[in-house]
Structure 1
């Protein structure tokens, strides 16, 4: 493996509260006999942890509330060795939480209370000195733009969830990552974009464009899919890390598809993020 790249993630931190029930409740209905568990989440945290497990040296700039949920939300990141010195604790704000109801047939309902993520401001930022930046749209766009204002390194943006009026962010991005639905929604904003654009296609893999022209395609290896939660975040982290390492664009896309596939073989988002050794092993098997 090449020298570990340095990466700053600007993003969100949530604690996911998950209830599994036989079916989703209708309006006014109470469904009992559910099973509950909580797990760290948030796109910023998910990508930071995934990138760290892939060998990058990651610093996360984000925010949590001054409440009991913060410790659990940060637990997996701390265990993985992500640098959390730039995570702000905001008084009188709650740590972001997502309430997720999952039915036996896989359907779900999700409600998010953004909490500290929504008030994460430029005042909470420190200078970015890493080789690359990766961000998403679960924090305020002005905060993201402020972080990039004096930065001249490689900028990757996982443009999720869909957010309007992000043209200035796209103008600064060297890499934009979208799924099929997001690609359609951002189509007018992407006109004239000359950087790298990765479009994920679910189980069909991904495509990479440069200056609007297709330059690479990749398909994921065959795996036993258990849970697709967090696969997109793992893909975004992997592609950013691979490009920051200097991998060729075709190799980087294949690497990212392999990471995304591995992330579907376990439950959860952060708990399913694969290690570099797991990825390298599967890549070798796939080539034989």
Structure 2
């Protein structure tokens, strides 16, 4: 029997990040500091968190044939992530994410998708083959920072195997309605939830209504992420508020990816929906306490220390 793995399919980026002393404004040139060249991307971040938490992770995605590919892949290789299904898009740049972080930690990002959007038939076949060969009980985490037809093929392959699928619906304008029917868990932020449901999420009551509407599409677990780092969970016909714990926010970059990764790892560990949502909130909360995304992700010891504090505050959402 092979141990289940976390399959993470989606974006792989080279991140260029700086801190600024005030928010960006039109017509203003800001002096920045703490420049960092690091790896990033939703799928890459999810895979790295899984490794930090002690699980095997297989990354599926695209990089370019430029020097930026090593910036994106080197930290993942050092972490022991399986990169055999990361393929190269010829004559294409690796995706680049340009990030500014003001004093309140609420980052701004400009993303050039580049290789993330350049999948050929061979790359899609390889992705499907990796999912088809995964051990029983594996979980697929997938985001829409790759083309919709790639997500469609991957989710079809996972569903045919009976693997649970965790969807990060970013970018929400790419989400196809019929794909949602294959998804076990989805984790939209407030803006994405509004795009998917038409409900403006301005508080926990609206989040509950949006979660209910998504659950009506056959999704077993819906976690609508709140601006404060908590979430509203819909599972079955039950609704649960998982509040955030106060954190000193340094940099929110990658916090949403940590939420997705925490949720996927919890399902890999066969935790129940409330426990899974708590793990996602804990991972996301710890991710904002350090500068840069991957470097701030928690290990198992830090996560386990925080989990009881979150679980103690869980409450039913009427």
**TM-score higher than 0.5:** yes
Q: Is 1:180 the counterpart of 2:204 in the alignment?
A: no
**How far off its partner does 1:194 sit?**
2.1
Could you list the runs of 5+ residues in structure 2 that have no partner in the other structure?
199-212, 313-318
**How far off its partner does 1:242 sit?**
0.5
Whole-angstrom distance in 2 between the partners of 1:191 and 1:132: 20
Q: Is 1:282 the counterpart of 2:306 in the alignment?
A: yes
Q: Show the counterpart of 2:88.
A: 89
Instruction: Mark the CA change 1:214 to 1:199 in structure 2 (over 3 Å): closer, same or farther.
Output: farther
Does the CA contact (< 8 Å) of 2:251 and 2:292 recur in 1?
A: yes
**How far off its partner does 1:287 sit?**
7.1
Q: Is 1:190 the counterpart of 2:214 in the alignment?
A: yes
Q: Show the counterpart of 1:241.
A: 265
Q: Is 1:136 the counterpart of 2:153 in the alignment?
A: no
Aligned length: 284
Instruction: Mark the CA change 1:218 to 1:94 in structure 2 (over 3 Å): closer, same or farther.
Output: same
**How far off its partner does 1:191 sit?**
7.2
Task: Spell out the pairing of 1:105-116 with structure 2 (5 A cutoff).
Answer: 109-116=108-115
Q: Show the counterpart of 1:37.
A: 36
Q: Show the counterpart of 1:166.
A: 176
**How far off its partner does 1:218 sit?**
1.5
Whole-angstrom distance in 2 between the partners of 1:258 and 1:103: 23
Q: Is 1:203 the counterpart of 2:203 in the alignment?
A: no
Whole-angstrom distance in 2 between the partners of 1:160 and 1:39: 21
Does the CA contact (< 8 Å) of 1:41 and 1:269 recur in 2?
A: yes
Q: Is 1:54 the counterpart of 2:53 in the alignment?
A: yes
Could you list the runs of 5+ residues in structure 1 that have no partner in the other structure?
none
Q: 2:294 aligns with which of 266, 270, 281?
A: 270
**How far off its partner does 1:162 sit?**
2.0
3-state SS of the aligned residue for 1:67? coil
Does the CA contact (< 8 Å) of 2:251 and 2:288 recur in 1?
A: yes
Whole-angstrom distance in 2 between the partners of 1:33 and 1:181: 28
Higher fraction of helix: 2
3-state SS of the aligned residue for 1:157? strand
The normalised TM-score by structure 1 is 0.88
Whole-angstrom distance in 2 between the partners of 1:51 and 1:228: 19
**1:262-283 per-position Cα deviation (integer Å, ceiling 9, x unaligned):** 1111111111111112111233
Instruction: Mark the CA change 1:21 to 1:223 in structure 2 (over 3 Å): closer, same or farther.
Output: closer
3-state SS of the aligned residue for 2:59? strand
**How far off its partner does 1:117 sit?**
0.4
Instruction: Mark the CA change 1:122 to 1:221 in structure 2 (over 3 Å): closer, same or farther.
Output: farther
The normalised TM-score by structure 2 is 0.81
Whole-angstrom distance in 2 between the partners of 1:76 and 1:271: 9
User: C-alpha root-mean-square deviation of aligned residues, in Å?
Assistant: 2.5
Q: Show the counterpart of 1:18.
A: 17
3-state SS of the aligned residue for 1:199? strand
